[in-house]
């Protein structure tokens, strides 16, 4: 990933937060079945292994998991907040007009080695953890234990687990850090007016540390 230093974020907790807040990642591999990419939800186990572990699952008919039987290097891409930036928001447009559109975004890329897991108990624990992760904010959270055990057991036969030992995490937070302060203020105001308050907050916060 092209990574100018002013867009790079090193703080591991912030990178983990993106992965947890936006758990649907693109699982990308290049194995015997060719180049493949599938969007799947992940669970991050930050305290396992040297740099953490990611777990997910694929439908058994999905050929990608077969590349992981003996292990396979993979790339997982998590996409955070993103949005178009119009030059009309820049103060410098009125000053000299030498401005062009751009796109602000947050992305985290994770590299590691994936292995396929077909153990029933592992799969039940995994889907329980994943469900708990996503159901936690709800007023009446559903749990795997709410469904009949034979039903869950039958369904897990149709999936294959994937465990990725993380070897590298890179984060790119492109939030107008390379623009003058007045331009960044215009981006914050413009995004807030469009209802993109999460983007506006990021531009404001990251801009404070910009050169």
- In this predicted structure, what is the pLDDT of residue 155? 93
Q: What's 73-112 look like in SS3?
A: EEEEEEEEEEEEECHHHCHHHHHCCCCCCEEEEEEEEEEE
Query: Hunting for tokens 């993380």 — which residue is that?
Result: 166
Q: Is the pLDDT of residue 126 over 80?
A: yes
Confidence of residue 9 (pLDDT cuts 50, 70, 90): confident
Q: Three-class SS of residue 67?
A: helix
Residue 58 in tokens: 């694929």
* pLDDT at residue 209, rounded to an integer: 61
Say whether pLDDT at 211 is over 60.
no
Q: Which of 6, 117, 19 is nearest to 60 (CA)?
A: 117
Instruction: Find out whether 46 and 17 touch, Cβ atoms under 8 Å.
Output: no
Mind listing the pLDDT tens digit for each residue in 13-66?
999 999 999 999 999 999 887 899 999 999 999 999 889 999 999 999 999 999
Q: Which tokens in the block code for residue 77?
A: 């891409």
- How many whole angstroms separate alpha carbon 211 and alpha carbon 191? 22
Banded model confidence at residue 202, pLDDT cuts 50, 70, 90? very high
Q: What domains are defined for the chain? A: 5-79+101-182 (2.30.110.10)
Write down the pLDDT at residue 146.
95
Strand partners, 59: 159
What digits encode the pLDDT tens for the residues 53-111? 999 999 999 999 999 999 999 999 999 999 999 999 999 998 898 899 999 999 999 99
Mean pLDDT rounded to a whole number for the chain: 94
Angle subtended at Cα 112 by Cα 111 and Cα 116, rounded to the nearest 5 degrees: 135
pTM above 0.75, yes or no: yes
Is pLDDT at 118 greater than 70 in this prediction? yes
pLDDT confidence of residue 95: 87
Buried b (16+ CB within 10 A) or exposed e, 82-118: ebebeeebbeeeeeeeebeebebbbbbbbbbebbbbe
How would you class 208 by CB atoms within 10 Å of its CB: exposed for 0-12, middle for 13-18, buried for 19 or more?
A: exposed
């Amino acid at each position: 990933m092209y990574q100018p230093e002013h867009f790079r974020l090193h703080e591991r907790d912030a990178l983990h937060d993106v992965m947890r807040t936006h758990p649907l990642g693109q699982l990308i591999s290049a194995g015997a079945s060719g180049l493949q990419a599938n969007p799947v939800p992940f669970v991050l186990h930050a305290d396992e292994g040297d740099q953490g572990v990611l777990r997910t699952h694929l439908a058994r008919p999905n050929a990608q998991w077969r590349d992981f039987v003996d292990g396979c290097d993979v790339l997982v891409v998590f996409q955070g907040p993103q949005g178009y930036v119009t030059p009309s928001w820049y103060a410098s447009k009125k000053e000299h007009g030498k401005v062009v559109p751009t796109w602000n975004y947050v992305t985290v890329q994770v590299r590691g080695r994936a292995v396929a897991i077909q153990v029933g108990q592992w799969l039940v624990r995994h889907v329980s953890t994943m469900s708990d992760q996503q159901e936690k904010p709800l007023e009446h959270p559903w749990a795997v234990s709410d469904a009949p055990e034979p039903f869950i057991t039958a369904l897990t036969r149709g999936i294959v687990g994937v465990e990725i030992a993380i070897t590298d995490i890179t984060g790119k937070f492109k939030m107008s850090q390379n623009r003058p302060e007045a331009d960044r203020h215009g981006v914050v105001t413009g995004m807030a007016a469009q209802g993109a308050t999460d983007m506006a907050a990021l531009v404001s916060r990251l801009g404070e540390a910009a050169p």
